């Protein structure tokens, strides 16, 4: 299933994938998604489209803000 909302995405990352949303992890992923020249980013965009790529960036940015608030 491809997440359609922040809540679905967060559940997928934390519960289904078992990945902790730490500041370090979130910032590392944001550095990848923000760099359009990286092969990983280009591959993601080809597979899932720009709309989903932008949504994932927004979700990581939201997670970053939430982590900063704690």
% of residues, the chain, pLDDT over 70: 100
The per-residue pLDDT of the chain, averaged, comes to 97
Question: Taking the model in full, what pTM does it have?
Answer: 0.93
Of 35, 31, 26, 33, residue with least CA distance to 64: 26
Q: Is the dihedral of CA 47, 53, 59, 65 positive or negative?
A: positive
Query: What is the pLDDT averaged over residues 10-16?
Result: 96
In the predicted structure, residue 1 carries a pLDDT above the cut 90: no
Rounded CA-CA distance 70/68 in Å is: 6
Query: What is the pLDDT averaged over residues 23-31?
Result: 97
Quick one: pLDDT at residue 70? 78
In the predicted structure, residue 38 carries a pLDDT above the cut 90: yes
Rounded CA-CA distance 64/14 in Å is: 14
């Amino acid at each position: 299933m491809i997440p359609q909302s922040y809540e679905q995405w967060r559940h997928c990352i934390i519960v289904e994938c078992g990945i902790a949303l730490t500041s370090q992890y979130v910032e590392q992923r944001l550095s990848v998604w923000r760099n359009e020249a990286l092969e990983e980013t280009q591959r993601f965009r080809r597979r899932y489209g720009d709309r989903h790529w932008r949504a994932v960036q927004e979700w990581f940015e939201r997670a970053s803000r939430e982590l900063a608030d704690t």
